[in-house]
Each structure stands twice: as C-alpha cells, then as structure tokens.
Amino acid sequence: MDHQSGDCDLSMEQRLKGLRTCLAFIREEALAYGQDDVAGHLAMACHILDGNVELLALPAVDSRRYS
C-alpha cells in the first residue's frame, strides 16, 4: 500500500476476502460478548460477500416518519 496516496496494490478480490475475514472476526467477538443481534448482522454481511444471499430492493423510507 502506498501510504502517501492511499492507493492499495491488492486486487478487489483480495480486498473483499480481507474485509470478510475482518467481519468474521468481529462477529466472533460480538458473540463472545453476548451481542447476538450484532453478530447476526455481521453474519449476513459475510454471506453477502460470499455471494450466498440475493440482495432484495428495500422499500422506500418515508422521511416524514422520522421528523
């Protein structure tokens, strides 16, 4: 990695594998601390990165509900 410019010499596949590894580690830590809901979200992110989940379009959010 070129720390001056922020460029990374890794391929996109290598970057995604690294990201997945980090998410899996954080998931294990979340489980160890009893954060099952967080661990579930991280598991879903890992499944998405593995290509095991088809992403569905999310319904539009009515911003007036949060005003």
The two tokens of residue 48 are: 């998405």
**Mean per-residue pLDDT over the chain, rounded:** 81
Residue 36 pLDDT > 90, yes or no?
yes
pLDDT band at 6 (very low <50, low <70, confident <90, very high): low
Count Cβ atoms below 10 Å from residue 40 Cβ, excluding itself.
13
What was the pLDDT predicted at 5? 60
| Residue bearing the bigger pLDDT, 56 or 30 | 30
CA neighbor of 44 nearest in space, from 35, 34, 54: 54
* Pairwise CA distance, residues 19 & 22, whole Å: 5
Kindly state the average pLDDT of the residues 12-33: 94
